[in-house]
Amino acid sequence: MSIAFQWAERLDPTRIALLQAVLGGAVLGSAYGFQYLGGLQPCVLCLYQRWPWWIAIGLGLIALMLRGNPGLQKAVVALASLAILAGAGIAGFHVGVEQQWWPGLASCGGVSDMPMTVEALRRQIMNAPVVRCDEVAWSLMGLSMAAYNMLLSLALGLGGLVLLWRGGADGDAA
């Protein structure tokens, strides 16, 4: 058996919850670091991609407090995994917008309503998003931050569900 599978065999719901919370914190820390330290302003879809991670962190922390109730703990970890998978969907949508496969949301830089007064036009211009969703602001090896988020979210979300399923009905794999 490979080292990766031996390591995965020891992941019970408590460890999966901890992993989800810690990795969620690392992902959000990276995003906020790019934003506040690196000056890379997020678009609307980038901001939407953060919500599932916040939810997964919260559910992971709740699951850590449910160590005495394995069934409920396992259900909460599964919900955290599903939240992360929802984030993969948002990130995948964002990748499609970046690649021009489909249009983004109206809030991604387009004009939504025609202003009726000069003051309304001024407010709309001043409040318009500066960062467009269909432009890749940063990439590494040809993959955007949204693509990396999608891949990581798929791996952690599906991985959490698979590990829970392999752990058995009682929620204790260790």
pLDDT tens by residue, 58-82? 999 999 999 989 899 999 999 999 9
For residues 120-138, average pLDDT: 71
On the question of pLDDT at 42 being above 60, the answer is yes
Q: Percentage of the chain surpassing pLDDT 90?
A: 54
The pLDDT value recorded for residue 12 is 87
Region label for 110, one of left (φ > 0), alpha (ψ between -120 and 50) or beta (otherwise): beta
| Residue 132 neighbours by CB under 8 Å, 6+ apart | 43, 104, 108, 109
Between residues 9 and 16, the one the model is more confident about: 16
pTM of the entire predicted model: 0.78
21's enclosing H/E stretch is: helix 13-36
The pLDDT value recorded for residue 6 is 52
d(CA 27, CA 6): 25
The pLDDT value recorded for residue 115 is 61
For residues 17-26, average pLDDT: 95
The pLDDT value recorded for residue 172 is 46
Q: Tell me the CATH architecture of domain 7-106+129-166.
A: Up-down Bundle (1.20)
Average pLDDT score, the chain: 84
Q: For the chain, what's the residue count? A: 174
Q: Percentage of the chain surpassing pLDDT 70?
A: 82
Helix and strand numbers (H, E) in the chain are 6, 2
